[in-house]
Structure 1
Amino acid sequence: MASNRPAPAAPFVPSQREPEAFGYGSYITDEGPWEEWNPTEESIRPMRGRHRVGKQRGGGLARSSTVLGVGVIAAVGAGGMASANSGKPPVSISMPDLSVSDLSVSDLPSVDSLLHDGSSAPKGSATALSSVGVSDTDSTEGTTDAGEALRNRIMAQAERQKGQADTKAAAAAVAAADKQVATAAAEAEQAAATQAAAAKEQAEAAAKKAAEAARLAALAKQYTLPTPSYTITGTFGQPGSMWASGYHTGLDFAAPTGTLLKAIHSGTVTQAGWAGSYGYRTVLTLDDGTELWYCHQSSINVSVGQKVTTGEVIGRVGATGNVTGPHLHLEVHPGGQATGVDPMPWLLSKGLHP
């Protein structure tokens, strides 16, 4: 292959030489003029010694890239130094207001949701970064600033949270009021139930009393006092040495001698005659087996085995036996037992009031 045509020699002018980018930073005076050399494959002969140039191998491209990068950095640095030393005023750099479509936020879902607040922006629409984050609702309300829109959203969220707290507090207050009303209603119901129970008990007691009065009234027609005119001079259980048992065993009706004695209730005469300290005595046995003893009589008008009815005369008041004066000594022996009971309660149970 033929060599390239040699370039004409240029005159050597040291003052017009450009500083070398990769040199020593200053001119070398001992070097002569330079000529352009275009080497060819035939004109290049192998160099020996320390100036030997080896063939590039596997890492040559990397070394060339490194050298090129270092050169670019040096050139940029030289240009920066020249700009700094030029004394010219700094030039302001302005950037265009980019749009959302230029940023391609549609490929970043999380960023797109922050910028549009969940509202969908049409693809290809030019939205300035200064208005990013302003939703359609904000625009409708007249808000065009992103910071103001964020502030409005925060305030709205705070209002919603406050409203929810107020609603919860109101619901709790309503629940407490309902509970209080329910408690009061339960207490009122309990009080009403108690009053109703008390009223029922009173009504039942009154009814029972009325029934007992009716029963006694009916019994009073079946029972009668042993004598129509009397004075109670001795009661059951009175102690004294004048009684063989040490206490009074009956109820004494004092009346003049000869006062009529009547059958308290219908029954059968089981004894009639002298009975020692009881004097003349008549024993009237009722249908339920209760024995009524009429003692100290002056006379007896019935005989053993005779059936009598209520109010029928069976004898007269006297002072026979162990007595201090005329009277009727009445004893009550339920079931015919030897020991008698107090005649007063028994007479009261039959509707009689001595």
Structure 2
Amino acid sequence: MASNRPAPQAPFAPDASEPFAYGAPRAEDGVWEEWNPTEESLPAVRGRHRVAKQRGGGLARSSTVLGVGVIAAVGAGGMASANTGKPPVSIALPDLPSVDSLIDGHHHTETPAASLSGVATATATAVGDSTADAGEALRSRIMAQAERQQSKADSRATAAAVAKADQQAAEAAAKAAKEASVKAAAAKEKAEADAEKKAEQARLAALAKQYTLPTSSYTITSTFGQAGSMWSSGYHTGLDFAAPTGTLIKAIHSGTITEAGWAGAYGYRTILTLDDGTELWFCHQSSISVSAGQKVSTGEVIGRVGATGNVTGPHLHLEVHPGGQPTGIDPGAWLRGKGLTP
């Protein structure tokens, strides 16, 4: 079993009775003597600079000064951390001897390094917490401002959307109102037209009781305005009702016979003048049943169909002359205006 080596001997044995535990003076130290300063041996201090007397508790004073320096250093480090944005770090200081221990080695109390390290760490942590609180407050203000700006933007967007929706609704309402107005106008116009049509039908129905067609069992062979060389004017001036000879001719409406006799190319002709001055010409008759100046009523027989004058066959040639004018109008249109359909 191995044993430990013996410890080396010291070059000299210290004498505890000697000051500073030195032995006898050594040659290499030269001549020396003990230095014990007194107030009388020290020069007077002028001005405001004085040397404070060392009293008991020198280590406490030194520790206090050292603690203040540590706090200042830690504060500076915290400020640097806050300025640079780096997280706070713990500062650990070594175990330093007190000033008194360096002078006489007596009456001193050691301050644990752990205590100084704790102070530095607590200070740095406090500074870091303060920096973190300030940063959190700044972040909260920034977030609040961003939220307000976003809220304003959302409010503007909402207002714009509402305005657009209102505009679209107004446009849709205006369009619907316009369409409704157009439909109402169309319906009103249609209703008025229907009313007018009904009124006209009623009027024509009433007139139809007062007017009648000039003959029956007929065929329309020539209409008003039809062109042809067989007519001296170059076009047909009346409406032709082709019917067998002897077919009865009736008074279309009540009036006065103003002419009855031969009329050249018209053959035997009877002119019936109505109360409004309109003249009705009945031409190409085979015989005449009335005389001039005679009053007749609607439907009364005034003659018979024939083929006298310039004709190609038996028929009744009817002309209508409003106000007795020499130029006639379309007899078919005039009859339809009286509720009759030739």
> Which bin holds the TM-score, normalised by the shorter protein?
0.5 to 0.7
Counterpart amino acid of residue 135 in structure 2: G
Structure 1 residues 146 and 310 mapped into 2: Cα distance closer, same or farther (>3 Å)? same
Residues 292-345 of structure 1: CA distance to partner in whole angstroms, max 9, x if unpaired? 000111111111111111111111111111122211111111111111111111
What percent of counterpart residues are identical? 73
The 2-side partners of 1:190 and 1:239 are apart by 51
3-state SS, counterpart of residue 313 of structure 2: coil
Counterpart amino acid of residue 260 in structure 1: L
Structure 1 residues 272 and 166 mapped into 2: Cα distance closer, same or farther (>3 Å)? same
Q: Corresponding residue for 1:155?
A: 143
Q: Corresponding residue for 2:215?
A: 227
> Quick one: which of 318, 323, 328 aligns to 1:335?
323
The 2-side partners of 1:310 and 1:345 are apart by 19
Residues 68-118 of structure 1: CA distance to partner in whole angstroms, max 9, x if unpaired? xxx99xx9xxxxxxxxxxxx9x955356xxxxxxxxxxxxxxxxxxxxxxx
Structure 1 residues 297 and 153 mapped into 2: Cα distance closer, same or farther (>3 Å)? same
Instruction: Confirm whether residue 195 of structure 1 aligns to residue 200 of structure 2.
Output: no
Q: Corresponding residue for 1:262?
A: 250
Counterpart amino acid of residue 287 in structure 2: S
Q: Corresponding residue for 2:206?
A: 218
Tell me the TM-score normalized by structure 1.
0.60
Residues 215-255 of structure 1: CA distance to partner in whole angstroms, max 9, x if unpaired? 11111111100002211122222223322212221111111
3-state SS, counterpart of residue 236 of structure 2: coil
Counterpart amino acid of residue 139 in structure 2: R
Structure 1 residues 164 and 273 mapped into 2: Cα distance closer, same or farther (>3 Å)? same
Q: Corresponding residue for 1:311?
A: 299
Q: Which is further off, 242-251 or 224-233? A: 242-251
The 1-side partners of 2:285 and 2:255 are apart by 19
Structure 1 residues 350 and 161 mapped into 2: Cα distance closer, same or farther (>3 Å)? same
Instruction: Confirm whether residue 274 of structure 1 aligns to residue 262 of structure 2.
Output: yes
The 1-side partners of 2:145 and 2:227 are apart by 100
1:268 Cα deviation from its structure 2 partner: 0.8
Q: Corresponding residue for 1:353?
A: 341
3-state SS, counterpart of residue 281 of structure 2: strand
Q: Corresponding residue for 2:133?
A: 145
The 2-side partners of 1:191 and 1:285 are apart by 53
Q: How many residues align?
A: 232
The 1-side partners of 2:179 and 2:156 are apart by 34
The 1-side partners of 2:242 and 2:248 are apart by 12
The 2-side partners of 1:231 and 1:164 are apart by 89
Q: Corresponding residue for 2:54?
A: none
1:160 Cα deviation from its structure 2 partner: 2.2
Q: Corresponding residue for 1:294?
A: 282
Counterpart amino acid of residue 208 in structure 1: E
> Quick one: which of 141, 157, 173 aligns to 1:169?
157
3-state SS, counterpart of residue 286 of structure 2: strand
Return 5+ residue gaps in structure 1 as ranges: 1-15, 22-70, 76-87, 96-129, 135-142
1:271 Cα deviation from its structure 2 partner: 0.5
The 2-side partners of 1:174 and 1:241 are apart by 80
Counterpart amino acid of residue 173 in structure 2: A
Instruction: Confirm whether residue 241 of structure 1 aligns to residue 229 of structure 2.
Output: yes
Instruction: Confirm whether residue 207 of structure 1 aligns to residue 221 of structure 2.
Output: no
1:207 Cα deviation from its structure 2 partner: 1.8
The 2-side partners of 1:331 and 1:148 are apart by 112
1:163 Cα deviation from its structure 2 partner: 1.7
The 2-side partners of 1:330 and 1:263 are apart by 12
The 1-side partners of 2:337 and 2:234 are apart by 27
The 1-side partners of 2:304 and 2:42 are apart by 182
The 2-side partners of 1:238 and 1:177 are apart by 66
Residues 130-175 of structure 1: CA distance to partner in whole angstroms, max 9, x if unpaired? 89xx9xxxxxxxx993332232222222222222221221122112
Counterpart amino acid of residue 189 in structure 1: A
Structure 1 residues 165 and 321 mapped into 2: Cα distance closer, same or farther (>3 Å)? same
3-state SS, counterpart of residue 186 of structure 2: helix
The 2-side partners of 1:267 and 1:239 are apart by 32
3-state SS, counterpart of residue 344 of structure 1: helix
The 1-side partners of 2:157 and 2:272 are apart by 87
3-state SS, counterpart of residue 315 of structure 1: strand
Structure 1 residues 240 and 171 mapped into 2: Cα distance closer, same or farther (>3 Å)? closer
Residues 234-292 of structure 1: CA distance to partner in whole angstroms, max 9, x if unpaired? 22222233222122211111111111110001111111111111111100011111110
3-state SS, counterpart of residue 317 of structure 2: strand
RMSD: 2.9
